[in-house]
Amino acid sequence: MSSLIHFSGHQHFRQRLVLSILSGKHVRIDKIRSEDKNPGLRDFEVSLLRLLEKVTNGTIIEISVTGTAILLKPGIISGGSLSHDCPLSRSVGYFLEPIIMLAPFCKTPLQLTLRGITTDEHDLSADLIRTVTLPHLQLFGVSDGLELRIKKRGAPPEGGGEVQFLCPIVKQVKTLNFVDPGRIKRIRGAAHAVRVNPQFSNRMIEASRSILNRYIPDIYLYSDVYKGDESGKSPGYALSLLAESTTSAIHCAEAISQPGVAPEDIGLQATRALLAEVNMGGCVDRKHQTLVLLMMVLGSEDVGRCRMGEPTPRTIQFLRDVKSFFGTSFKIVPAEPGSSQLLYSCYGTGYVNANRALA
């Protein structure tokens, strides 16, 4: 059948599932860690498939006996009020990132409660999703009622956190035309420390300020306090930072506690990572390239433009996968002669949310 798209390997698992569900095309993924000592899907991948089953209606997922191959026949994206317990092998960010790509196209607005780890070193933390990822969705006209509430924090390894994600539905996303990165006008940040000395937050903030104070006066780093049951089951602390420009371009970075590393050093790490990110330039930071590019593809039938830095390896594969599912390819040219920043443009597919209840 022509609508079946085939991939091999466990890499880029999430984006392929998302693209399949959005495009309605069946996807088969095989050779999932088939050479590994412990072959097949990991618990978090199975959990993600279960979550996607909950968010949709009529989706058929077949997993081979060995777990090294799956077939997904997407149904409609239904949304509604749902909850899901995430395994402790990945944080809630792993699950939210693909869900955010689907949520605006639900039949009814999504209210999703996720329980598990809220901040870890692999995925966007709940803080960055709230303060950086969601504003990126707003660029495309998904805004009223868009919210992420961090009810309880959960540090690895035991987690115990809880977040609630609320997303409105849209008929169509707007075309993006974002080519002026502007200049950084403010820096914001949140430090949290759970089940450790609460002073750790302030120590991270002070260390971060020791670098940032030189640049601009508008810096507000606050210490987010969670107590008792709200602070989860394990000790941990982290600093999440974002830099916002005059044109509302946002760059972000964070660092989380590691055994034997002082809070000051975590604060410095986060700050230096932020500066590295700012230095890459562009209107969208590296962590949000795929989200923005996806929404550009789904935008109305017009040319969308966005200026960004060089694509990450994930982004390159994403661009190729988008072409497999939607047939859309981007034009990628230097933003100015000699510039390392690039201008990504594509013609939107005019994707219409057909799931939306007619009202």
Partner 1 sequence: AQTSISSTRKTRRKDWTKLIYSTSLTPEQILEGAEEQEGGPREDEMDEDDFFQIKTSRAEGDDVLDQSKDVLSAAELKKWEDEEMLESIRHLFITGGGEGGEGE
Give the binding site for partner 1 (CB under 8 A): 9-14, 33, 35-36, 93-94, 97, 121-124, 183-185, 211, 214-217, 246, 254-255, 269, 271-273, 275-276, 278-279, 281, 286-287, 290, 310-317, 319-320, 323, 329-333, 338-340, 342
> Closest approach of Cβ 357 to partner 1, in Å?
31
Q: Which of 238, 227, 242, 234 is nearest to 119 (CA)?
A: 238
> Closest approach of Cβ 114 to partner 1, in Å?
16
Nearer to partner 1, 11 or 66 (CB): 11
Per the omega criterion (within 30 degrees of 0), is the bond before 259 cis? no
Contact indicator for 83, 114 with CB cutoff of 8 Å: yes
> Closest approach of Cβ 30 to partner 1, in Å?
14
Nearer to partner 1, 162 or 244 (CB): 244
The CA–CA distances, whole Å, from 132 to 10, 49, 286, 359 equal 27, 26, 12, 31
Nearer to partner 1, 159 or 181 (CB): 181
Nearer to partner 1, 215 or 222 (CB): 215
> Closest approach of Cβ 90 to partner 1, in Å?
9
Counting every residue written for the chain, the total comes to 359
Nearer to partner 1, 94 or 326 (CB): 94
> Closest approach of Cβ 140 to partner 1, in Å?
18
Say how far residue 174 (Cα) sits from the centre of its chain.
Answer: 19
Which residues sit opposite 345 in a β-bridge? 305, 331
Any idea what DSSP says for residue 132? I
Whole-number Å distance between alpha carbons of 127 and 44: 21
